[in-house]
Structure 1
Amino acid sequence: MDWDKLRIFHAVADAGSLTHAGDVLHLSQSAVSRQIRALEDSLSTTLFHRHARGLILTEQGELLFDATQAMTKRLDTASARIRDSEEEVFGNLRVTTTIGFGSIWLAPRLSKLYAKYPDLSLDLMLEERVLDLPMREADVAIRMKEPSQADLVRKRLMDIRMQLFASPAYLEANGTPKSLHDLAAHRLLCQSLDVTQVSAGATLVRELMTYDVGRTLKVNNYFGVLQGVLSDLGIGVLPDYLSQDFPQLVRVLPAVESNEVPVFLAFPEELRGSKRVEAFRDFVVEEVVAYRKARQDAA
């Protein structure tokens, strides 16, 4: 099969439109259409159903798209490894982690990484869904549990616990609870139990809900809970790592906390020699060491 036609087919299938694919490929719509027709003729099959809302892959088109997706990922991997054979750290690195950890802990520290490697670009993908590293949905992941996928290089970074925090202004206006029973007079801010989250955090929230909690504000990620706490809305269930960057917050009911949650950094075995991955891994490890030391000094 003609590689150029396959490249154009992949762009059309990905965009769902001849026009949008042409924009990406810098080709006219008519040129893209001709290439698709020529590919269909060479395969003696129809690859797209055409209708007013755009293009939909046929069953045969789905089979070919699966193949071109795999080819594209392999080519991206080869390209990355070729670029990483140089000593300079540059290019794009796709990093995935949770919304809370990425927003609260990782993003504020990235200026140090960029200062050291100004030619490095990051795609920071913050979501609770676990992306498939071997399938190259991301290059590096920081996860709140040990990865189960095979062929991954993994490193345990640290352990965290979910704890209760409030702002001084909120506590001054509403009082400081002395026991869990006192939560009846407060608003509890927590992550919603019906969304993906750290299991230890969900367990702690369920335990808290067995008490007579006065009011609640449920958010679908920890960054939203933090914003609510900073805005004096109530007592929030939050990860302990935020205490370093938000020292103004007050730990409430210090005896109440979740079980330990392990934090792992992982990447595919095939990227072991990547200079970009190595630079990012070393940066994160250095920041974790500094974070641990600061917590020990504060204890």
Structure 2
Amino acid sequence: MLDWDDLRFFLTLARHGTLSAAAKVLHVSQSTVGRRLNSLETALAVRLLNRTPDGYVLTLAGEEVRRKAEHLEAEALALERDVTGRDTRLRGLVRVTCAETLAAHILAPSFAKLHASHPDIMIELIPNPRELSLAMREADIALRMRQPEQHDLVVRRIGNIAFGIYATPDYLRDQGALDFEAGCAGHHLITQLDDTQEMTQSAWLTDLASRATVVLQTSSHEAAALAAASGGGLACLACFRGDGEPRLTRVPAPTAPPSADILLLVHRDNRDTPRIRVVLTHITDTIHELAAILQPGDGVGSDARAAG
């Protein structure tokens, strides 16, 4: 008899391609993912995934099993959402996913207030640059800075994030004045990888400082902020993060960096579940209350921090 959990682990590994990525999504060890795959392949007496230098790739048999397993998964998730939607209790787990810096500096501090009002609601906060699937119940609520590709989602714009160029005063003194007309030759850039939500702002910075050298790329906004704060170079950061870092100063630029909308996402089948509705409202209120910090004025350095 097939074990549904084995199929679930197989699907996650097939979607994400590596044991480490699948283990992170499933909140288990890599060895557990490998053991579940071996269990399923043994039960079916067929190889489902081939391991390559670039990750796991489906075999022909794996493609067929994946198609049928995804059908079973869709039915199970639809049933789960239907049952969950009838739960009228203000208690239980709500999974929230967003970018790392939003999680650490905006949402995590706010959840103490939520817990005081609703002590039986438990939040699982999942900082992840990858877009977790709400349809597959990897999360219940998502905050994102670009439009989703998933269907069956309710999307609401609840705020906006301003960005700026940041560096340490020592870096600016040692590397010399920023000459944007000359492409900032001789300067160092810290940028985001192309698959992250802040890639639009990184592309703007690399175009503006076209003769500067990219010395660090990262999928973590927080890593970029800390690298800049350690004197590593120029970074385009969310103003609420850059202005709040005492080691950084905001640098005037000839044009404003592109801002980013804050989008609140929930699966349409879950939006009226009471505990999820409470968390949606709390997140919306939090973002509205912090609007002046998320979208500060055009001041530079300590003046910008005072405004925030």
Does the TM-score normalized on the shorter chain lie above 0.5?
A: yes
Question: In the TM superposition, what whole-angstrom CA distance separates every residue of 1:9-64 from its partner, at most 9, and x where no partner exists?
Answer: x1233356xx969x99xxxxxxx99xx98xxxxxxxxx44279x9xx995664454
Tell me, yes or no, if structure 1 residue 298 matches structure 2 residue 307: yes
Residue 153 of structure 1 and its aligned partner are, at CA, apart by 2.0
**Residue 207 of structure 1: how far off its partner (Å):** 1.0
Once the two structures are superposed, what CA deviation does each residue of 1:79-104 show, in whole Å capped at 9, x if it has no partner?
Answer: 4223xx3342332x222223343344
What is the aligned partner in structure 2 of residue 109 from structure 1?
110
Alignment of 1:205-220 (within 5 A): 205-210=205-210, 212-213=211-212, 216-220=215-219
Matched, 1:80 2:84: yes
Instruction: Report the equivalent of 2:125.
Output: 124
Note the alpha carbon deviations across 1:128-163, whole angstroms, 9 max, x for none.
333333343421111112345443222212222331
Distance 1:12 1:178 in 2: 56
- Give 1:158's aligned residue: 159
- Aligned identity (percent) is 22
Q: TM-score, normalised by structure 1?
A: 0.71
Consecutive unaligned residues of structure 2, counting only runs of 5 or more, are 11-30, 51-57, 298-305
Superposed, which structure 2 residues align to 1:1-150 within 5 Å?
A: 8=3, 10-15=4-9, 47-49=44-46, 58=61, 61-82=65-86, 85-91=87-93, 93-147=94-148, 149-150=150-151
1:200 counterpart letter in structure 2: T
Q: Secondary structure at the match of 1:159?
A: strand
CA distance in structure 1 between the partners assigned to 2:112 and 2:233 by the alignment: 31
Change (3 A) 1:258 1:151: same
State the distance in 2 between where 1:160 and 1:188 align: 21
Contact 2:192 / 2:221 at 8 angstroms: preserved in 1?
yes
Change in Cα spacing, 1:107 to 1:231, as seen in structure 2 (3 Å) is farther
> Partners in 2 of 1:71 and 1:230 — Cα distance?
49
Native 8 Å contact 2:190 2:217 kept in 1: yes
Distance between the aligned counterparts of 1:78 and 1:106, measured in 2? 28
Q: Is the 8 A contact 1:167 1:250 kept in 2?
A: yes
Aligned structure 1 segments of 4 or more residues deviating by more than 6 angstroms:
none
Distance 1:90 1:168, change over 3 A: farther
Contact 1:164 1:256 in 2 (8 A): no
Shift of 1:204: 0.7
Q: CA RMSD in A?
A: 3.8
Q: State the AA in 2 paired with 1:86.
A: T
Change (3 A) 1:247 1:257: farther
Displacement, 1:292? 1.5
Check conservation: 1:159, 1:260, Cα contact below 8 A: yes
Residue 253 (structure 1) shift: 2.0
Task: Using structure 2 for the length normalisation, give the TM-score.
Answer: 0.69
CA 1:227–1:157 in structure 2 vs 1: closer, same or farther (change >3 Å)? same
Length, aligned pairs only = 265
| Secondary structure of 2:190's aligned partner | strand
Q: Which moved more, 1:240-249 or 1:276-285?
A: 240-249
CA contact (8 A) 1:133 1:139 kept: yes
Greater Rg over alpha carbons, structure = 1
